[in-house]
Structure 1
Amino acid sequence: MDHSPEPDAPILFFDSGLGGLSVLDPTRALLPTARFVYAADYAGLPYGKKTNEELAARVPALLGRLVERYQPRLAVIACNTASTIALPHVRAALDLPIVGTVPAIKPAAELTQTGAIGVLGTEATVRQPYVDDLSAKFASDKTVLRHGSPGLVTAAEAKLNGQPYDPAAIERAIAGLRNQPGGDAIDVIVLACTHFPLLAEELQAVAGPGVRLIDGAAGIARRIAYLTDGQRWPADPAPGIAVFTRSDDRPPPPLAALAPYGIGSIETI
């Protein structure tokens, strides 16, 4: 008996905001006819300011509602903070494949020539024991410096919405790494928040040409393609759905801002 999902069963991408679009993009390149739902928890943004306990309860509950509503074949937690804190709880609660997002410390350790790596994330991500474990496992002979930069999440959201943001947030983020002992030697910076690749051009300009910026989005897309290999997909592409949790002070972005990512409609829950 064929237990594979129906061709129209979507892939669910979940993030606190719009950062997960940086994961959606390479996934659409690999699976161009896949249906998808992009979910942003605007009522909970920013995750980097929440406690581990809050996220461990909030993320599985919200994903449970989304899975019930959209019946996806696979769910992607396209958020480093949510993944490093809530991934085990989500996998325990939901009966479908879950793909998480982790800081790209392993490839950074392979790329660095100076032995100094910067990890730029939210405050919640950079304090996680998970990051300690990745550093110990893959970069034990390197210098790994971390900096939490909530201002970059705000800037990325504003940029994608076509709104002004403080360019000093970019400079402060890079300075937060550079100004640590050994920071001058950094030649690879891990963008350990899916929002941050949306500011890659601006971050690169401040970091300078001698620094490589890397993130895990392409690897996540390959993982999604691997887990769905052999499954049936629709013959033709169709616009995706964006769904936002209701927030009194943060309305969903205009559809025009999301259209370049293949999104054709917006819903709220």
Structure 2
Amino acid sequence: MSAGPILFLDSGVGGLSVLRAVTAKLPDAPIVYCADSAGYPYGTKGEAEVSARVAGLLGRLAERLDPALIVIACNTASTIALGYVRPVLDVGVVGTVPAIKPAAEQTATRVIGVLGTDATVRQPYVADLSARFAGDCTVLKHGSAALVAAAEAKLRGEAVDPAVYRGALDGLLNQPGGERMDMVVLACTHFPLVEAELAAVAPRPLRFVHGADGIARRCAHLLRETAWEGPKPEGRAIFTGGIEGVAPLAPALQGFGLTRIEGL
């Protein structure tokens, strides 16, 4: 029997940045992308709500799709809910966590920024990563819901005011030590989708790092003995809030290999 698909979950389209890296490593894998549009955005919600929603939704999707692997393609959901879902699902689950370790390894100034959602940057998990891997660095943190919305708007083909990108960076640069920051961890999967826009408004060259490539390597390792037989099926994008209003996203979704769009 051929193996099931790789299932990706995010509240919106940010997880497409992870899907892109994974499918580059595993081009033959069938893919299903779930945007929990009924629960969007996760980054402004409380921990209890996010953990309950993610666990319940993944349980339903795992039963329905029988995936070979689940990727929580969202930093907020991963830092909050990963510990809840792994013990209760009979399938491997790969999470997305801020790339603080590689940032600390590459910084020359020993000042790094963590740009994520409000929910992600306040998590003890992020503080623990900073203590373990960036103990000799100044770690600046800033949450930006506006930048999440900007990434969603970009994929819908809408114009975004550059002030949104400047404001997100200023949230880091204007903190004490921000003048020495040389690395920015994009700690929300939406943010690599607008990395070029962030770089364009930066007052000086900054290096951006995120975890998509590391997730792709992990997925390839876990699925190294998995065989998908027959023609690759059509990539599916599932929206929990239904498909009304999703049409503007269709061209972008197709660019990521998701040609079948459906509601849940």
Q: Could you say whether these structures have the same fold, taking a TM-score greater than 0.5 normalized by the shorter chain as the test? A: yes
Q: Which amino acid aligns with 1:144?
A: V
Residues 51-73 of structure 1: CA deviation (Å, up to 9, x unaligned): 00101111000111111111101
Matches within 5 A, 1:83-94: 83-94=78-89
Residue in structure 2 matching 1:34, options 10, 25, 29? 29
CA-based RMSD of the aligned residues comes to 1.5
Q: Which amino acid aligns with 2:59?
A: G
Structure 1 SS opposite 2:236: strand
Per-residue deviation at 1:130?
Answer: 0.3
The question of whether the paired residues in 2 share the 8 Å contact of 1:108 and 1:188 is answered with: yes
Gaps of 5+ in 2: none
Distance, in Å, in 2 between the alignment partners of 1:153 and 1:182 is 25
Per-residue deviation at 1:236?
Answer: 4.5
Q: How many percent identity over aligned positions?
A: 58
Change (3 A) 1:42 1:252: farther
Matches within 5 A, 1:73-88: 73-88=68-83
Q: Does residue 93 of structure 2 align to residue 98 of structure 1?
A: yes
Residue in structure 1 matching 2:162, options 163, 167, 172? 167
Per-residue deviation at 1:247?
Answer: 5.7
Q: Which amino acid aligns with 1:189?
A: V
Count of residues in correspondence between the two structures: 264
The question of whether the paired residues in 2 share the 8 Å contact of 1:33 and 1:234 is answered with: no
Change (3 A) 1:233 1:248: closer
Matches within 5 A, 1:58-73: 58-73=53-68
Residue of structure 2 in register with 1:3 after alignment: none
Q: Does residue 153 of structure 2 align to residue 181 of structure 1?
A: no
Distance, in Å, in 1 between the alignment partners of 2:239 and 2:230 is 28
Moved more, 199-208 or 252-261: 252-261
Structure 1 SS opposite 2:43: helix
Residue of structure 1 in register with 2:136 after alignment: 141
Structure 2 SS opposite 1:153: helix
The question of whether the paired residues in 2 share the 8 Å contact of 1:174 and 1:207 is answered with: yes
The question of whether the paired residues in 2 share the 8 Å contact of 1:104 and 1:192 is answered with: yes
Q: Which amino acid aligns with 1:136?
A: A
Change (3 A) 1:254 1:160: closer
The question of whether the paired residues in 1 share the 8 Å contact of 2:242 and 2:262 is answered with: no
Q: Does residue 200 of structure 2 align to residue 205 of structure 1?
A: yes
The question of whether the paired residues in 2 share the 8 Å contact of 1:34 and 1:234 is answered with: no
Q: TM-score, normalised by structure 1?
A: 0.94
Q: Which amino acid aligns with 1:53?
A: A
Distance, in Å, in 1 between the alignment partners of 2:244 and 2:255 is 25
Moved more, 214-223 or 164-173: 164-173
Q: Does residue 119 of structure 2 align to residue 124 of structure 1?
A: yes
Structure 1 SS opposite 2:238: strand
Residue of structure 1 in register with 2:41 after alignment: 46
Q: TM-score, normalised by structure 2?
A: 0.96
The question of whether the paired residues in 2 share the 8 Å contact of 1:121 and 1:148 is answered with: yes
Per-residue deviation at 1:231?
Answer: 1.2
Change (3 A) 1:188 1:249: same
Q: Does residue 199 of structure 2 align to residue 228 of structure 1?
A: no
The question of whether the paired residues in 2 share the 8 Å contact of 1:33 and 1:238 is answered with: no
Change (3 A) 1:234 1:248: closer
Distance, in Å, in 2 between the alignment partners of 1:14 and 1:252 is 19
Moved more, 247-256 or 184-193: 247-256
Residue of structure 2 in register with 1:264 after alignment: 259
Distance, in Å, in 2 between the alignment partners of 1:250 and 1:57 is 26
Distance, in Å, in 2 between the alignment partners of 1:197 and 1:22 is 6
Gaps of 5+ in 1: 1-5
